[in-house]
Amino acid sequence: MKTYSAKAGEIERRWYVVDAAQAPLGRLATQIATVLRGKHKPIYTPHVDCGDGVIVINAEKVRLTGKKSEQKTYFRHSGYMGGAKHIPFQRMLERRPEFIVRRAVRGMLPKTNLGRLMSKKLRVYAGPEHPHKGLVTEPLKIES
């Protein structure tokens, strides 16, 4: 029996809507990354982008477990000496809640050109509304 390898033209794409309200960030990100990579499909092929698209709503209501909400920081650097910035989770949640979810998912995708293609199928919105109303979507249940 030969091993099946999916071709780019044979792949059917679907879009899923995920409600991030009260979902633990890590569990949410792993399940979204699984769908973006296509590992939930029986035709999964590692070198082909066979994943589906994901729309995340209510990113401002995502939560962390334990004391991580007080301890977690996001690091960035300007490139200049002394340009290191550590931004606390709470401030990032107030200012850019979409960034939190997008970064958590991006960290679980491959760090290659294929991973960058997969991350383009992720749409994250802070509130309950999204502009993709005409798109045929299915709800994706996050198991906690």
pLDDT digits (tens, 9 = 90+) for 83-110: 999 999 999 999 999 999 999 999 999 9
Question: Does the structure show a pLDDT above 80 at 136?
Answer: yes
List the structure tokens of 137: 């979507």
* 2, part of any domain: no
pLDDT band at 1 (very low <50, low <70, confident <90, very high): confident
The tally of domains found in the chain comes to 1
| Rounded-to-integer distance, Cα 117 and Cα 113, Å | 6
Instruction: Find the length of the chain.
Output: 144
* 5, part of any domain: no
pLDDT at 19: 95
What is the average pLDDT value for the chain, to the nearest integer? 94
pLDDT (tens digit per residue) in 10-23: 999 999 999 999 99
| Domain containing residue 31 | 14-64+96-139
pLDDT at 8: 87
* 70, part of any domain: no
* 86, part of any domain: no
* 49, part of any domain: yes
What ranges make up the beta strands (E) of 6-133? 15-19, 53-57, 73-77, 84-88, 122-124
- CATH number, domain of 28, equals 3.90.1180.10
* 8, part of any domain: no
* 108, part of any domain: yes
Instruction: Confirm whether pTM is higher than 0.85.
Output: yes
